[in-house]
Structure 1
Amino acid sequence: MVISDTHEHCLNGANMPEVDVLHTGDLTNFGELEALKESVKMMGTIEAKFKLVIARNHDISLDAQNRVENMSDDEYSKCHYSALEIMTGQLAEDAGVVYLKEGTHTFSLKNGAKLTVYASPYTRGSMGFQYQINEDRFNDATQVAPGQISIATNHIPEGVDIVMTHGPPHTILDPS
């Protein structure tokens, strides 16, 4: 099951079949720590072998490069560290949530197969995890479209089974 934009909405996992879950971001409205905790707990109600999660622009506290208004750099640094602890610490482990930072991740399946996932929270738009409209965050310089500049630090490699991003595929509901 692929979900996104839950924005603090609580899904009732008890009413769902056992499925693998890919959450492609916007767990919260503004990245508040309590909202992240509740979102992780909500994911814990879903019976699944895999619960892979990426952040997105509304999950601001997970973006080290962004900063919440009215917070000093030191306050935001502490908030960011706490947000990462929520997504990667004991609460997430107990809920079966695996938080994926940008890059390629490989998982071993029960049948011995490998699953390779490329994950990125970055998108064009506002708030957290942003890049500019003329930038290509996902392809190396030899693969960018005309007029685009590659800024890829973790480009999508060949052989990936699943790409987890929040934005649409190129030219499909993509205003760029």
Structure 2
Amino acid sequence: MSPTRLLPYQKLISSPTAHVQLEYSLSSILPKPGTHSDWTRFVLLSDTHSRMCDVPDGDVLLHTGDLTQHGTLRELKATMDWLRTLPHKIKIVIAGNHDLVVHREFYEANWEDLYAHRDGAGPESAEEMRNLLKGPAARAAGIVYLENEEHRFRTREGGREWRVYGSPWSPEFDNWAFGYDPDQGRDLVAQFPQTDILLTHGPPHNLLDLTNTKIRAGCSALAARVAELQPRLHVFGHIHEARGAYLHQWPPTGAGDEPRIPWVQHGIQLGVQVDDGEEKWMDSAKEEEELTDGLEIDFGGSEDSDSKREMVDKDLERGTAPGQTTLFVNAANMPSGPNARRIPGGRGKMGGMGFQPIIVDLSS
């Protein structure tokens, strides 16, 4: 079993090739680290659930699903109307499990039983749904909807071509859209091509996927596939309470062991306070044992080390480490879990402090 690394609460992650702003004031957003030609700014959204929030400007907007709350055409229209108003010239979108009307096979088989269905009304139009996602108004606003598809783009003439692949699927639970049997996950993710940016609605297993009930809800097959693909950026959502980011360095080619995805969770979700070089359990010893059942915890460094645990390896920060890096981001905007409870009032709002759109700058 790999050790699970516990992340401290942080607002900023920085390396020679990636810069991440997780929390910020809209009036004092940091500029790109380099010249406009050297860096591309991505603004990440997920799990907006029919609500709107302030969204910083950038080169590219990425939304990884749950555009709606109840999965209706009316909700989808409201969200797409909002996205069209945003200034980003390129907006790449996938659906999520809440977006019932988008998953036509599921919707047409279940529409009469869905709680969002109004008695006396027929099924909502597939043509209207497709028009909202891929019609002339969407295209004019720079919106690209992906459903197990690849898209390539440049943010400026002569600039780098970025490859992005998007899939709305996640392991099934209850009666929701775009769900797959975990045993069939390997066949699904095997279709994912080599890409710079991977968008999935659900997370990989044991990486920013811990629920409020301490279930690690991510997909093991996805975790294995991401380790093979090693994209520059993997964005997902679905598990609101696990929102955050982690920059991982893969071993260099030929290093020996087959690369595996890191196991990473927030310390606060496991009842661990990670501050000033100390790890303190915030609950009783009994609760500690329950919370860490099945987890080997990596507190970073040696057992007697009092150095502060970092989210980025020291060699990576200095720019001396070989090998590819992947930035993993759970971009969920709907508040939930311990991070939401630390907000004044104990809840917060969609896209508000602690759950803002995440700003990612990647070097070209």
Using the size of structure 2 for normalisation, the TM-score is: 0.40
C-alpha change, 1:167 and 1:153, in structure 2 (3 Å) is: closer
User: Which of residues 93, 105, 116 in structure 2 aligns to 1:53?
Assistant: 93
SS in 2 for 1:52: strand
Alpha-carbon deviation of 1:154? 6.6
Spell out, residue by residue over 1:101-130, the C-alpha distance to the aligned partner (whole angstroms, 9 max, x if none).
Answer: 212222234234211111100011341111
Aligned-pair identity (%): 31
Residues 1:131 and 2:165 aligned together: no
Counterpart residue type for residue 156 of structure 1: F
Q: What's the counterpart of residue 187 of structure 2? A: 151
Is it true that 1:28 corresponds to 2:68 in the alignment? Answer: yes
Aligned residue pairs, count = 156
Runs of 5+ unmatched residues, structure 2: 1-42, 114-121, 210-215, 220-364
* Secondary structure at the counterpart of residue 125 of structure 2: helix
Q: Secondary structure, in 3 states, of the residue corresponding to 1:117?
A: strand
Aligned Cα root-mean-square deviation (Å): 2.2
> Greater strand percent: which structure?
2
Moved more, 38-47 or 101-110: 101-110
Conserved 8 A contact 1:62-1:83: yes
Higher relative CO (Cα under 8 Å, sequence separation at least 6) belongs to 2
Gaps of 5+ in 1: 137-149
- Tell whether 2:142 aligns with 1:115: no
Instruction: Answer yes or no: is the 8 Å Cα contact 1:40–1:97 preserved in 2.
Output: no
SS in structure 1 of the partner of residue 87 of structure 2: coil
Among 93, 98, 116, the residue aligned to 2:144: 98
Give 1:39 shift: 0.5
Give the alignment's TM-score, normalised by structure 1.
0.78
The answer to whether structure 1 residue 167 and structure 2 residue 184 are counterparts is no
Q: Which moved more, 1:2-11 or 1:111-120?
A: 111-120
Structure of higher CA gyration radius: 2
Residues 56 and 91 of structure 1: CA distance in aligned 2, closer, same or farther (over 3 Å): same
**Residues 59 and 155 of structure 2 are in contact (CA less than 8 Å); yes or no, is this contact kept in structure 1?**
no
